[in-house]
Amino acid sequence: MSGNPRLHVRISDTNLRKLRRISGDHGIHMGALVNEALTLFFTPPEERPDAAILGRLNRVDDQVERLEMGVAFQTDLLIEFIFEWLRQRPGPSPFETEADASRARQELEVLTARVADRSNSHIWS
């Protein structure tokens, strides 16, 4: 060790076994492991190596949530558009009889409920 002061500390037997195992597995001096652990312990959370990764993951989660909300909203608009287009298009209507209209209404409700279950409740209220 190049000029580093020596420090004697007492640790539990459990932690000593863990420290020896990690030291042996990786071929690293136990003092270097303790020094690195103390360095990370005293480093503010925003400056730790994993802080950048966690920040990026949080941003990705936010973007995924926004995308899911957008997809749910666009799906709702598409369902409404298709339904209105089928109702208003010229020529023979697909809902000529009351039974056809009832069946189409039930299918639309089932489809809407299936889509709504996977989306943001604020969009469908």
Roughly how many angstroms between the first and final C-alpha of the chain, as a whole number?
67
Mean pLDDT of 92-107: 72
| pLDDT for res 72 | 87
3-state secondary structure of 89: coil
| pLDDT for res 110 | 79
- Residues 6-55: tens digit of each pLDDT: 888 898 999 999 999 999 999 999 989 998 888 888 888 888 888 888 88
Phi first, then psi, for residue 53 (nearest 5°) are -65, -45
Domain ranges of the chain: 13-42, 49-124
Confirm whether pTM is higher than 0.85: no
Quick one: what percent of the chain has pLDDT higher than 70?
83
Residues 118, 72 contacting (CB under 8 angstroms): yes
Mean pLDDT of 60-73: 91
> Which residue is it, tokens 């303790």?
34
Residues 76, 123 contacting (CB under 8 angstroms): yes
Q: Which two tokens stand for residue 73?
A: 């909203």
Tell whether the model's pLDDT for residue 124 goes beyond 60: no
Q: Look at the chain and count its residues.
A: 125
Q: How far is CA 86 from the centre of its chain?
A: 38
